[in-house]
Structure 1
Amino acid sequence: MRLFETRPGDDGLPGRERLLAVLALITGTLMAVVDTTMINLALPTIAADLDIPGSRAVWITNLFQVVCAAFLLVFAGLSELVTRRRLYLVGLSTFVLAALGAALSRNLETLLVFRALQGLGAAATLSIGPSIYRAIFPSRLLGSALGLSALVVAGGYAAGPTLSGVILSFADWPWLFALNVPLGVISLWLAKRALPRESPRQGSFDILGALLSMLMLASFFLAMDAVGHAAPLWQSGGWLVTAIMSCAGFIRRQRRAPYPLLPLSVFAEKRFTLAVSASGLAFIGQGLSFVALSFFYQEQMGFSPLETAWLFTPWPLAIMVVGPLAGRLADRINPSVLSSTGLLLLMIGLISLGLVDENTGVAGSLWRTALCGIGFGLFQPPNNREMMASLPPERSANVSGVMSTTRTVGQSLGVALVGAALALGLAVQLTLWLGALTTLLSLAASLARVPLAREANRARRASSQPS
């Protein structure tokens, strides 16, 4: 395969070691993504078995997500001191052991403890995953590598609900967690053998910045969750104020810290900043679309939860097909052009979904969802490549942390917007139009960096020519 061919002058790992390292990343990422989607579908079953109300059962998912979101930037910064390889191995080990603990849990309190530990392990692996791809693959294949990453994530989202349904049809819910144990052992063996070794950075760790980062991201997620569940204004407002104040403190700290958790100088690179903006706005559109369509298909069109899951399937399947192709093309042509084209298709797809009514058949819903998936698949890998390639390799861990955090924040905000619309009694389809609007703004940010990317390509070609 082209991804595992070694050419003279290649950076990264040799072909065979590259393959083993990628297999370790694939299994680790799949576990984290599939785990989330599987457990979401199993919450009613778990609630009934543990004899708890649904309002408490949702914290089996919420706690995992809050902990994971809170530690993304922290672990990205910490990886420079302990090295990405060690952090990935510790994070993966924590996730697997916590999955075993969750499988053995027989009450909600114990299960929540292990779910928090799973979130901690997932944060360690997901926060640095993209930067490890950059360390594994040569620069000429960076887009293709990130396209492979997009395929893995989309495959996890597509397979999770179906796998959960299959397992629950003949086994109890603890087996959903136990499934991670053998996969985790394999992934750990591969990671320990193949992930590249590197020297740690000298210097101190920004402990105050880490604490402010955790408070900022955790309180933001809780604020968005409160909005999404129509919680009292004092509750959502309190968390939001906490998030804003801790964000201000975090920025102030990063400007003064000798070894900042997230060097703000990375945002001086316009290509990086525009790519981050485009990513966040696009994930808002994706996050609200998934939730809005779930309500619309079930409450207004009368589909069952399983039928609704199948109606969503074209979106991740399209990403699985288009994502690797888009990543490969991004190694050859301007990634900003590809990303902008994908955002245009995504916007058209969201507009078409906003026009769906009770008379729209299954086929009409499927092609609209597939169009969104094609657009998002064409957007994400080239945009991620822009984020990675716009900064020096030594900033890869920071870029990876920003990339993961942007995705989490964008999706959470999208879900919260749907919850707010429902709380206000607005038609759920109006949020799809809002998603189209955020995608339009994302498209504007993406188009703004097209000339910047062209200039960077010309400068790179000029510097590579012999004088």
Structure 2
Amino acid sequence: MTQPAAPLPTAASGKLTPRELRGLVAILVSIALAVLDTAIANTALPTIAADLNASPAASVWIINAYQLAAVATLLPFAALGGIIGHRKVFLSGIILFVVASGLCALAWSLPTLTVARVLQGVGASAIMSVNAALIGLIFPPERMGRGLGLNALVVGTCFAAGPTIASLVLSVANWPWLFAINLPLGLFALTFAWSSLPTSPPKAVVFDRLTAVLNVITFGALIFALSQAAQLGSMSSVVIALAVFLIAGALMLRREVGHPAPMFPLDLLKRPMFALSTLTAFCSFATQGLAFVSLPFFFETTLGRDPIQTGFLMTPWSIVVALIAPMAGRLSDTYPPGLLGGIGLAILSAGMVSLAIMPADLSATGIVIRMIICGIGFGFFQAPNQKALMTSAPRERSSGASGTIAMARLIGQATGAALVALSFGMSGTHGPVLALSIGAGFAAVGSVASALRLVARNA
């Protein structure tokens, strides 16, 4: 297999060439694996802990290790992609992810699995940091919404369907197969990606290793603080982690003053359209995190549903996202993302309110309707918002914009999970209702932020 020398232009007919189509398939399969491995471990955690003779508190590091590694290295990988090329970072990420998945499947103890999950998180981070930038190289600007719509479909459905997929795998196989199934899919994606991904020219910019280290410390400390809060850890560990986050973050920002392409995209966040799109993404994914962590408790403890029924009741959200996201992507090529995102998040907010106030004796049909409303709202916002982020940044800063998309998603989801724990601590059995109400508030704020982009766009 030979490495392509330059990106191929999209066919004049407006359709993707065979090579571009193979590259797009490789990107979507890889991002599906990265997102799924964020979600499936949650479902399998009790089984894995029992098999490895690990305590529940210690086994949480199976999840934390992946999240910490992924978030902490996202922006450094995005910056590296802008220097050496998105393709090289993406291919390296797939290779590391596949190798780490094999190590996870072969792990014989909690420490070995945790180390393998760290490597897996780093590989996933490399994939997620540049995937939107690569899609931007495949699709011309006037059709980028279609490509990002497919990306949004994969991200939304995989995160939502992760627990269901994990349950299906565990019903017929033991937990190592949750990671082993990544091997053939990852090799398939690598084969397509190697010969088909577009290349971007390298830049004569030096990669700042010290800034990268400060970035890892900054966001690693933030995710650790959120994880400790979500798991009701000690207050001292949360406070110390937040202090490290603030100090390391301040040093990182000070070091990057005047940099033409800062690793933390402060230059992009000074652009109103980009800043509002980032806020919109954070709010929407915080809403999703609040919903998908709290709803299983709500369905089982408040509504008295069993785990199988809960799985089916959670499914409509992901199905509707899969149906709506491509359509929203196409619409974003014609209508302003601020309008589409504002409508979508307003619908999502209404759906979250309807879930929070539903009676305990509500029928399954009534619950499904409410989940469909949420899925419509979430699916309608995501692709237009990603397009707004990519198109509001200069083309030479596509790596920074791509990394910001993934960062806003992961930090939003982690914030949502931490707020669910806070809701449970404050309201006990009424915690799920409080969490859903907070989620409705986040979606409402996101809707307003999205609508403000109409003004920013005109300005």
Select 2:119's aligned residue among 117, 120, 128: 117
What SS is found at the alignment partner of 2:256?
helix
What SS is found at the alignment partner of 2:199?
coil
* Letter of the structure 1 residue corresponding to residue 346 of structure 2: L
Q: Which moved more, 1:351-360 or 1:139-148?
A: 351-360
What residue ranges of structure 2 are gaps of 5+ in the alignment?
A: 1-8
Select 2:284's aligned residue among 282, 290, 293: 282
Q: Which digits, 9 at most, give the CA deviation of each residue in 1:375-428, with x for residues without a partner?
A: 011111111111111122111100011111111111111111111121223522
Cα distance between partner residues in 2 of 1:395 and 1:204: 15
**Superposition pairs for residues 374-393 of structure 1, below 5 Å?**
374-393=376-395
Is 2:445 the counterpart of 1:445?
A: no
| 1:407 alignment counterpart | 409
| 1:131 alignment counterpart | 133
Distance 1:177 1:451, change over 3 A: same
Distance 1:161 1:418, change over 3 A: closer
* Letter of the structure 1 residue corresponding to residue 39 of structure 2: T
Distance 1:158 1:421, change over 3 A: closer
Asked whether the equivalents of residues 10 and 139 of structure 2 are also in contact (C-alpha less than 8 Å), the reply is no
Cα distance between partner residues in 1 of 2:41 and 2:261: 38
| 2:423 alignment counterpart | 421
**Superposition pairs for residues 258-269 of structure 1, below 5 Å?**
260-269=262-271
| 2:6 alignment counterpart | none
| 1:461 alignment counterpart | none
| 1:328 alignment counterpart | 330
Shift of 1:130: 0.8
Asked whether the equivalents of residues 226 and 235 of structure 1 are also in contact (C-alpha less than 8 Å), the reply is yes
What SS is found at the alignment partner of 1:303?
coil
Is 2:241 the counterpart of 1:236?
A: no
Q: Which digits, 9 at most, give the CA deviation of each residue in 1:348-372, with x for residues without a partner?
A: 1111111023122221111111111
Cα distance between partner residues in 1 of 2:251 and 2:98: 34
* Letter of the structure 2 residue corresponding to residue 301 of structure 1: L
Cα distance between partner residues in 2 of 1:38 and 1:290: 13
**Superposition pairs for residues 42-57 of structure 1, below 5 Å?**
42-57=44-59
Shift of 1:164: 2.2
Shift of 1:158: 4.3
Asked whether the equivalents of residues 82 and 397 of structure 2 are also in contact (C-alpha less than 8 Å), the reply is no
* Letter of the structure 2 residue corresponding to residue 390 of structure 1: S
| 2:437 alignment counterpart | 433
**Superposition pairs for residues 328-367 of structure 1, below 5 Å?**
328-367=330-369
Cα distance between partner residues in 2 of 1:251 and 1:126: 23
Shift of 1:236: 1.1
Distance 1:381 1:253, change over 3 A: same
What SS is found at the alignment partner of 1:449?
helix
Q: Which digits, 9 at most, give the CA deviation of each residue in 1:241-272, with x for residues without a partner?
A: 21122222222222144653234221222111
| 1:6 alignment counterpart | 11
Q: TM-score, normalised by structure 2?
A: 0.94
Select 2:308's aligned residue among 306, 309, 312: 306
Q: Which digits, 9 at most, give the CA deviation of each residue in 1:301-329, with x for residues without a partner?
A: 22233322221111111111111000001
| 1:225 alignment counterpart | 227
What SS is found at the alignment partner of 2:43?
helix
Cα distance between partner residues in 2 of 1:377 and 1:258: 35
| 1:164 alignment counterpart | 166
Distance 1:154 1:259, change over 3 A: closer
What SS is found at the alignment partner of 1:374?
helix
Select 1:59's aligned residue among 58, 61, 82: 61
Shift of 1:454: 4.6
| 1:145 alignment counterpart | 147
**Superposition pairs for residues 33-44 of structure 1, below 5 Å?**
33-44=35-46
Count of residue correspondences = 449
* Letter of the structure 2 residue corresponding to residue 172 of structure 1: N
Cα distance between partner residues in 2 of 1:48 and 1:359: 35
Select 2:298's aligned residue among 263, 288, 296: 296
Distance 1:251 1:24, change over 3 A: same
Cα distance between partner residues in 1 of 2:131 and 2:219: 19
**CA-atom RMSD, angstroms?**
1.8
**Superposition pairs for residues 63-212 of structure 1, below 5 Å?**
63-212=65-214
Q: TM-score, normalised by structure 1?
A: 0.92
Q: Which digits, 9 at most, give the CA deviation of each residue in 1:121-180, with x for residues without a partner?
A: 000001111111001111121111111001112332344333322222222211111111
* Letter of the structure 2 residue corresponding to residue 142 of structure 1: M
> Which 4+ residue blocks in structure 1 deviate beyond 4 angstroms?
256-259
Identity %: 36
Q: Which moved more, 1:93-102 or 1:238-247?
A: 238-247
* Letter of the structure 1 residue corresponding to residue 444 of structure 2: L
Cα distance between partner residues in 1 of 2:161 and 2:280: 27
Cα distance between partner residues in 2 of 1:158 and 1:344: 20
Shift of 1:289: 1.7
Asked whether the equivalents of residues 154 and 317 of structure 1 are also in contact (C-alpha less than 8 Å), the reply is no
Cα distance between partner residues in 2 of 1:54 and 1:416: 18
Distance 1:149 1:305, change over 3 A: same
Cα distance between partner residues in 2 of 1:373 and 1:245: 39
Distance 1:278 1:145, change over 3 A: same
| 1:273 alignment counterpart | 275
Asked whether the equivalents of residues 338 and 450 of structure 2 are also in contact (C-alpha less than 8 Å), the reply is yes
Asked whether the equivalents of residues 204 and 259 of structure 1 are also in contact (C-alpha less than 8 Å), the reply is no
* Letter of the structure 2 residue corresponding to residue 55 of structure 1: A
Q: Which moved more, 1:317-326 or 1:265-274?
A: 265-274
Shift of 1:5: 7.2
What SS is found at the alignment partner of 1:435?
helix
* Letter of the structure 2 residue corresponding to residue 84 of structure 1: H
Cα distance between partner residues in 2 of 1:335 and 1:27: 26
| 2:5 alignment counterpart | none
What SS is found at the alignment partner of 2:11?
coil
What SS is found at the alignment partner of 1:424?
helix
Shift of 1:49: 1.3
* Letter of the structure 2 residue corresponding to residue 377 of structure 1: G
Q: Which moved more, 1:297-306 or 1:55-64?
A: 297-306
